[in-house]
Amino acid sequence: MSPGRRAVLTAVALAAAVYGAARADLWLRARSAYLEGEKWSQWAAKPELKKAHFDAELAAREAELKRELEAGTLDRAAFERKAGLARFERDQAVAESSLKYAYVWYQTAAELFSPPENRWSVLARAKMGETRELWKKELAARKVPYQDYMLE
């Protein structure tokens, strides 16, 4: 085999490997975003699961702060401030619209991680429409004024 031909075959093989790696990366990212959207959709249907998740995160953060307090790396006032902030962040996360986050994650999977089209981006695109309509109904029920362009 001539050196020129070998160089061309090597370049083609490298290009194919890079293309394959990029495609696999997009597939995995789309899957991850789709599954995150599914989690938020499930939380919209069962808010107690969402609350349990954020309560567990709060408990872990408070335990970490207590360890710092007991170790002497944190004084009582700083502990109270940080614990109060952690509780506030938990309350905000629980109060936030799960449908909004589900829609954004589906949109991410459908628009950011394609082309090339893959199973996850197709599924996410299908879920985007129905989730957006549910989100609109939620906003209307809460009497939150919005325009369609605001939901993009």
Closest by CA position to 87, among listed 48, 57, 47 = 57
Q: What is the pLDDT of residue 111?
A: 87
> CA 81, CA 86: separation in Å to the nearest integer?
9
Q: Are 29 and 116 in contact (CB under 8 A)?
A: no
Q: What is the pTM of this model?
A: 0.78
Q: Alpha-carbon distance 84 to 61, whole Å?
A: 11
**How far apart (Å, rounded) are the C-alpha atoms in residues 52 and 120?**
27
pLDDT of residue 55: 96
Burial 48-68 (b: 16+ CB within 10 A, else e): eebeeebeeebeebbeebeee
Domain ranges of the chain: 3-151
pLDDT of residue 23: 84
Question: Is the Cβ–Cβ distance between 55 and 90 less than 8 Å?
Answer: yes
From first to last of its 152 residues, the chain has per-residue pLDDT tens of 788 888 888 998 999 999 889 888 888 998 999 999 999 999 999 999 999 999 999 999 999 999 999 998 989 999 999 999 999 999 999 999 999 999 999 999 988 877 778 889 989 999 998 999 899 898 888 888 777 777 77
Backbone angles phi, psi at 110, to 5 degrees: -80, -35
Report the amino acid identity of residue 54.
F
Task: Name the E strands within the chain.
Answer: none
